[in-house]
Structure 1
Amino acid sequence: MRTLTRVIAAAAATLACTAALAQTYPDKPIKAVVPFAAGSATDQIGRAFAQKMQEALGQPIVIDNKPGVNGMLGADAVAKAAPDGYTLLIGTNSTNAALKSLMKQLPYDQDKAFAPVAYMGSVPLIIAVNPDVPAKTLKELVDLAKAKPKSINFASASTSQLVSTEMLAGMAGIELTNVPYKSGPAAMTDLIGGVVQMFSADFAVMLPQVKAGKVRGLAVTSTKRSPAVPELPTVNEALGLKDYELIAYFAMYVPAGTPADVIAKLNKAANAAASSKEVQEKFAGIGFAVEPGTPEDLAKRGATETAKWAKAIKDAKIEPQ
C-alpha cells in the first residue's frame, strides 16, 4: 500500500507540474532550431513565423541555425531537448518525412521523437543551370546529359534538392553527378561560379538569381506554373512527363512528451502567423502556400508525406547512406 501511495503521489505531482507549466507557458524566451543554414528558405520562413508568433506568445523566439546532413543535426538536437515547449523545430520534408529513407540509421526515431505542432506552408523548386551551360531549355539539358552521361554535375544541400533532381534524372533516363553541399546558399554560389552546372532549389534561394540573370531557370517542379515566374514551364510541360511533382514544405514540431496545452498555444500562434497579411505578402513572390490546421492534421500529413518520399527515393534509386 505504501508503494502504491508513493506511485499515486508521484503521478499527481507530475500532473500538477504539467498543469502549472501549461498555465504559465511561456515565461521565458523560446528557441527555434532551423536545421538549415541562414538565408535558406527554411531560415527565412522560420524567422518570419517566429517574429509573428512572439507577438502572440509574449516572449522572444530566438532562431538557432544548426545545418548539416540534410537537416539531421538540427532535428537531433530538438529530439534530445527537454519536452517543455522551449525548444521548437522548424522542420521540413527532409527532417520529418524523407530522412528515414535516406539514412541507414538515424540518431533518433523520426516517427516518435517529435510531436507535431503546425503545418506552415509549401513552396515549389526551380531547376536552373549556370549561364555557360549550352542549354536554353530543360529538354536541351536532357539531350546534353544523354549525349554525355554523368558529365553534368548538380548541387544538393537538402532532401528536396537531391530527390527532385534524381527523380528528374530517373524519369528522363539520364545520369547526373551529385555534388553535396552543407547549405543552399553555398550551392548557389558555386552554381553562379560555374563549379556545378545544375541546381534545383526553392524559390527563396533561386528566384532572385534567376531574376538577376546570374543563373538560367529552366522549369518549376510543381504541377502548375508559378505566378512568381510564369515564363518557366513545369517539368511536365518541358519534358512531356505526366507524374513529376516535388515541393518543399515546412512545419513546426516539439520534442515528444511536450504537454498538449503547450502545443495548443504554439499551434494557435503558428496558425495566426500563417494567416497574417505580413507573412503571406512577404512570401507571395516565392510561391509560398499556407494551410493552417491542427496538430492532428500535421500528423496525418506527416504519415502521408513519409510514404510519398519513401517511394520517390526508391524510384529515384537513391541508396541510403
Structure 2
Amino acid sequence: MPFTRRSLAILSAALVWAGVAAAQTYPAKPVRAVVPFAAGSATDQIGRAFAQKMSETLGQPIIIENKPGVNGMLGASEVAKAAPDGYTILIGTNSTNAALKSLMKQLPYDQDTAFAPVAYMGSVPLIMSVNNDVPAKTLKELVDLAKSKPGHVTFASASTSQLVSTEMMNSMAGIKMTNVPYKSGPAAMTDLIGGQVMMFSADFAVMLPQVKAGKVRGLAVTSSKRSPAVPELPTVNEALGLKDYELIAYFAVFAPAGTPPEIVNKLNQAVNAAAQNKDIQEKFAAIGFAVEPGTPQALAERSKRETAKWAKAIKEAGIEPQ
C-alpha cells in the first residue's frame, strides 16, 4: 500500500511538472483561432484585430480560420473537440456560448462544460434596417405594415443575435414577419440591398457602412441607449414606445475544456492587452464596440448569466428549437 501511494504521488507530481513545463514554453508554435462565422462578419473583423495584437504579446502567430454554419455551431464544435493544449481557441459569441443551447434540440457538445472560458472581448449593438424600396420610413411604420399584412414582411438572419433581435421585437410588438435564413451576414446584406428581403437586423460592422452610404435605411438600434456612432437613430424602445427591449452581440475567447490554467492565464493576458490597445479601441469605436477586459472567472460567470438571459429571450420570442 505505501508503495502504491508513493507511486501515485510521484506520478501526480510528474504530471503537474509536465503541465507547468508546457505552460512555461507556451506558445511554442502558431495558435489556430476558429471564427465560427464568415469572413467580413463582425466576429471575423474583431477576431482578426485581436489576433494580431495577441500575437505580439505571445510571440507566435495566431492564424484565423473561418468555419461558418448553423449559427456558429460548426466552428464551436470543432474547438470543443480539439486537444486542450492552447493551440486551438474559439472566437466565441453570444450565439456559440449562450444561445445555441436554447436554439438547438441537440448540440454535438455540452455548451456548459465543453469550453474553458479565457477572456471577454467586448460587445456591439445591432441596427434594424430595411431595403430602400420598403415604404416604411420608421420602425413604427414597419410594424404597422407587418400588422396590416401578417407574414408579408420578410427579414434576413444569419446569426443568433440577428434572428432573436427581430423575433423578440416581433413578439413585443405583436406582429408576424417571415424569416429568411442565410449562411452569412454579408450574404444577407447583399440581398437586403438588392431587395430579395425587406428587413435585416445586424451588427454595426455589417450594417453601419451601408446605412451611411444610403444603400439601406436604418430604423433603430437594439441597445438600451442611442449609439454615439449613429445618434440620429432611435432605440427600439423609443421607436415603439417599449421599455424592456435590449439585445446586444458580444465576443469572447474560449479554449477546449481541460486546457491547463497556466495556458488559459497566458491567453487571458494577451486578450486583455489587446482589449486595452488604443488602436483596437479606435478602429472599432465607429461600430459601437465596447471593450471590457476581465478574468477567466468573470467570463465564466457572464456565460452563465447570458445563457439564462438568451434562453428567456428565445422562449418569449416563440422561437422553436431546431
Q: Deviations over 1:75-96 (max 9, x none)?
A: 0000000001111100000000
CA–CA separation in structure 2 for the residues paired with 1:4 and 1:110 = 36
In structure 2, C-alpha distance between the alignment counterparts of 1:10 and 1:177, rounded to whole Å:
60
**Structure 2: unaligned runs, 5 residues or longer:** none
Equivalent residue for 1:301?
302
* One-letter identity of the residue aligned with 1:169: N
Report the counterpart of residue 192 of structure 2 in structure 1.
191
Q: Which residue of 1 aligns with 2:280?
A: 279
Question: Which residue is 1:120 aligned to?
Answer: 121
* 2:106 aligned residue: 105
Aligned residue for 2:150? Answer: 149
Equivalents in 1 of 2:178, 2:252: separation in Å? 30
**Which digits, 9 at most, give the CA deviation of each residue in 1:188-212, with x for residues without a partner?**
0111111110000000000000001
Q: What is the TM-score normalised by the length of structure 1?
A: 0.98
SS in 2 for 1:286: coil
Asked if 1:159 corresponds to 2:175, the answer is no
Partner residue in 2 for 1:76: 77
Unpaired segments ≥5 residues, structure 1: none
Do residues 137 (structure 1) and 138 (structure 2) align? yes
Paired residues in the alignment total: 321
How far apart, in 2, do the equivalents of 1:233 and 1:210 lie? Answer: 14
Residues 1:260 and 2:250 are matched in the alignment: no
**1:65-113: CA deviation from partner (whole Å, max 9, x where unpaired):** 0000000000000000000111110000000000000000100000000
Q: Distance in 2 between matches of 1:220 and 1:33?
A: 28
CA distance in 1, matches of 2:153, 2:245: 21
C-alpha distance in structure 1 between counterparts of 2:10 and 2:73, whole Å: 39
Kindly state the Cα deviation for residue 15 of structure 1 after the two structures are TM-superposed.
1.5
Equivalent in the alignment of 2:270: 269
- Calculate the aligned-residue CA RMSD, in Å: 0.9
The aligned residue for residue 241 of structure 2 is: 240
Structure 2 letter corresponding to 1:33: V
Deviation of residue 148 (structure 1)?
0.3
> Which amino acid counterpart does residue 94 of structure 1 have in structure 2?
S
Residue type at the aligned position of 2:86: G
Secondary structure at 1:222 match in 2: coil
Query: Which amino acid is 1:23 matched to?
Result: Q
SS in 1 for 2:243: coil
C-alpha distance in structure 1 between counterparts of 2:4 and 2:108, whole Å: 36
Residue 269 of structure 1 and its aligned partner are, at CA, apart by: 0.8
| Residues 1:87 and 2:88 aligned together | yes
2:250 counterpart SS class = strand
Q: What does the per-residue CA deviation read over 1:230-264, in whole Å, with 9 as the maximum and x for residues that have no partner? A: 11000000000000000000000000110111111
1:63 is aligned to: 64
Segments of 4+ moved more than 3 angstroms: 1-10
Q: What amino acid does structure 1 have at the position aligned with 2:201?
A: S
- Do structure 1's residue 37 and structure 2's residue 38 form an aligned pair? yes
Residue 193 of structure 1 aligns with an amino acid whose one-letter code is G
How far apart are 1:5 and its partner, in Å?
Answer: 5.0
Query: Per-residue deviation at 1:16?
Result: 2.0
Structure-2 separation of matches of 1:116 and 1:180: 29
CA distance in 2 between counterparts of 1:90 and 1:24 reads: 23
* Rounded Cα–Cα distance in structure 1 between residues aligned with 2:85 and 2:291: 27
Query: TM-score if structure 2 supplies the norm length?
Result: 0.98
